[in-house]
Amino acid sequence: METVLKICKKCGRYGGACSPDAKIHNGCGGELIDTGISHDELMIIRKISSDNDFLDAMIELKKTDIIEYNLKMSQFKTQANQQKQQKGNIPKCPTCGSTNLKKISGLSKAGSVAMWGVFAAGRTSKTWHCNNCGYEW
């Protein structure tokens, strides 16, 4: 069954995902008002920000400017998907397969070149250091 987001008139808290015919807030017995935001939309908004002010603004925007709202929601969806992809793309050590890696920053690269001169020149092309086996690539 489809769930919708409702807000409690009495305490101002969100009732979370309620069935469309829920009328009373379980927590305080106050009257629930439909926000017009579906549970799926709420999940996307929450991924972008957990701030209630932000959620309020999105609810208001859906009422006042549905075109702008839909535009923003499609942007949020893309953003949320990208975040998911980035998490799936964690680099692994090619030697031992460990994800316990340290990124060799540009600063430390520059520092090692300055300190060790040509001897460390080979290090400059390496980006990752494996904390597990010590391999660098």
Instruction: Name the residues that contact Zn ion, by CB under 5 A.
Output: 8, 10-11, 25, 27-28, 30, 93, 95-96, 98, 130, 132-133, 135
To Zn ion, the closest distance from the beta carbon of 41 in angstroms equals: 21
Question: What element of type H or E holds 8?
Answer: strand 4-8
Nearer to Zn ion, 96 or 110 (CB): 96
**105: which 2 tokens?**
């920053």
Nearer to Zn ion, 71 or 96 (CB): 96
Nearer to Zn ion, 71 or 133 (CB): 133
Indicate the angle between helix axes 39-48 and 52-64, nearest 10 degrees: 130
To Zn ion, the closest distance from the beta carbon of 22 in angstroms equals: 12
How far is it, in rounded angstroms, from Cα 127 to Cα 135?
11
Question: In the sheet that 32-38 helps form, which strands lie side by side, from edge to edge?
Answer: 14-18, 4-8, 32-38
Q: Is the dihedral of CA 37, 38, 39, 41 positive or negative?
A: negative
To Zn ion, the closest distance from the beta carbon of 25 in angstroms equals: 3
Cβ atoms within 10 Å, residue 108: 13
Nearer to Zn ion, 23 or 84 (CB): 23
To Zn ion, the closest distance from the beta carbon of 93 in angstroms equals: 3
